[in-house]
Structure 1
């Protein structure tokens, strides 16, 4: 697989919206041998505002123009999922590596198509599942791998969020609950992170089934999903996601059970988790998270492109999260 021939990764960013304010893009200018060369957004007013606030000299309102900029040698796609396949195809055709936001696409088939176009063009494809690179999740991975938890028996994901009252009047402007743009609702936006993290911990999920429904009727997409899944490693798992609970019922908890203990953590919370081992008091382990939360993952992408390291979040791994989500929402009741 071809990387880049330069000594510096010069990013072109497509879609400089909210995710590019703090989470991702600023890190690209902090990592050695990495810089933002140009940004693009369809709104000229908004792209100029972003470029000026972040000190970026070059901006575009056309994706094709940015992709074909000869100084840009890597593309970051930060648009809603509906545009990921088209933009990844354009970048691959130009011979430029692709870093795409999560979820990787609206469906597993679109993910496979993205993989195919990048493989045909011989360019790398990375996905923004940045939790794989965060310190507390890497520590949990270590506890699983080194046998501290014993043989892993099961994992259980439980995510409950209250219904966002603003959605009642803003559904049409919230792409995250528009299946045409996002593939589904908040389940696709948030559970994709969790399912990819499970893939990082335990390997590929080989079987998955579930049910989904729209109980509140606030928007078209599903607002509740329940399911179960089996990993190739033999670990069993369940998930329960609901986005219309009451405020006092909100919960973000994943528990991993092993033969020697258990770990519990929040996917979207602080950099900490609780470890309970047989015969010992529960212990809370805390880690400092970076200001720009995607920076550790982007560092591995830069290293991979420059031939000095590897990145563990690729199109191949990212597509697996989409496959599981497709299975879990297949039966709507």
Structure 2
């Protein structure tokens, strides 16, 4: 593939800054069409971002001869459907995370990719961000010795619409659309990167509950997990605390020290060993998906390999399914 010409299915908020503009900033890549069911919003997006074509029908975008790769940026409930349609049309797919509602849908997507030979990628962009590559580098350099265990803590306050008297729940807390709650949405990034840095997780168990009753999805999860390497992990995720209790912290504890970092909010990495403490500040780029999109474009052009594929992306869904099984 000489030039990768992208079409976006679902040009919503996630595409405004994180990804959409990046397609035109990567060499040998351009955004040529967008689709949204609301025609007015699709047209507005195309106008604001100088996109040549817009549609309110997914099949019209998929079958546009000017489009040779498709980015599926809708909520997870429609990922499998749109991705499979695009792959059967012979067009490589880059799909948002979580990859689908559950591991079964992920496997169906990967099966079509294998059958058709059409590549499938997932937007686990932390595999290409300098901040997280620095963490992986520190691990690979054995800076804190052998990793013993991982501790994840994420506390988040409810969104305004979730605590209003007449709530209109976001799609992220509608299990039929998202697969679960905020845990499904955010922990997918965490488990994907932890596997990228530390290897496969072989077992995971947990307790998922709804304590606050603000919506139908779980709002608190406690989990234990074990890597094939023997590293153990634990985590707590709570989405119904006040802002004073908000925390986003992960620690990697090793035989010679520890690494503390944030998955979502901070740019600081702290390394503590017997010789002292060292801080690294690595800001995110303006368009956080751009480094991964660049690697995907190179993959499609035969110039490299993307670190995030359908096969790796499905792993996060599998781990989440293990933890939240009732």
Provide the TM-score with structure 2 as the length reference: 0.98
Q: How far apart, CA to CA, are the structure 1 residues paired with 2:169 and 2:34?
A: 23
Partner of 2:303: 308
Displacement of 1:165 in angstroms is 3.3
CA contact (8 A) 2:161 2:169 kept: no
Question: What's the Cα RMSD here?
Answer: 1.1
The runs of 4+ residues in structure 1 deviating greater than 3 Å are: 168-173
- SS at 1:16's partner residue? coil
Displacement of 1:284 in angstroms is 1.0
Partner of 1:3: none
Provide the TM-score with structure 1 as the length reference: 0.96
Structure 2 residues without counterparts, runs of 5 or longer: none
Partner of 2:195: 199
Match of 2:213 among 179, 194, 217: 217
- SS at 1:21's partner residue? helix
Partner of 1:298: 293
Partner of 2:177: 181
1:277 paired to 2:273: yes
Q: How far apart, CA to CA, are the structure 1 residues paired with 2:68 and 2:75?
A: 22
- SS at 2:18's partner residue? coil
Q: Deviations over 1:66-106 (max 9, x none)?
A: 00111111000000000001001100110111100000011
1:262 paired to 2:266: no
> Greater shift after overlay, 165-174 or 252-261?
165-174
Partner of 1:166: 161
Partner of 2:54: 59
Displacement of 1:171 in angstroms is 4.5
Structure 1 residues without counterparts, runs of 5 or longer: 1-5
Q: How does 1:226-245 map to 2 (within 5 A)?
A: 226-245=222-241
Partner of 2:113: 118
CA contact (8 A) 1:135 1:271 kept: no
Displacement of 1:109 in angstroms is 0.5
CA contact (8 A) 1:171 1:177 kept: no
